[in-house]
Amino acid sequence: MFEKFAKSSENTLYVIFRVVVGLLFAMHGLSKLGWIGGKEAMTGLFLVVGIGELLVGLGILTGLLTRISALGGLVIMIGAQIMSHLPKGINPMTNGGELSLLFLVSFLVVFALGAKKLSLGKALFGKELL
């Protein structure tokens, strides 16, 4: 019974996963730009990262250049781990790195699977780009 449900729902569940990951990451970027969360816009490297997070999130959310977006997200999250979290220790529960690890693994999944069936790239071009 479960296998039948899993097989028949595979694409729908993946689209939900992709949309939620993309939306949350875009919101993460918007918060760095001062648009969500009541914070002031960040400057310097954090501003660049915020723009990158917004673009990555939108790419994954819409399914346009999905794998390139996921690769960009991987780079951002690896950078976050190296620059911000690992200097505070290796345990993500004490160094504040659990969210970036969840995003990192999510981007690995999206990079491996691409956009799948429902995507803006397929709607516009008839196929997934890259």
Q: Mind listing the pLDDT tens digit for each residue in 62-115?
A: 999 999 999 999 999 999 999 999 999 999 999 999 999 999 999 999 999 999
Give the residue numbers spanning the domain of 33: 11-117
The answer to whether the beta carbons of residues 16 and 61 sit under 8 Å apart is no
DSSP-derived 3-state class of residue 7: helix
Residue 113 located in a structural domain: yes
Residue 126 located in a structural domain: no
Residue 103 located in a structural domain: yes
Residue 1 located in a structural domain: no
Residue 45 located in a structural domain: yes
Task: Please give the pLDDT value at position 38.
Answer: 67
Residue 90 located in a structural domain: yes
In terms of phi and psi (left: phi > 0; alpha: psi -120 to 50; beta: otherwise), the region of 16 is: alpha
Number of domains observed in the structure of the chain? 1
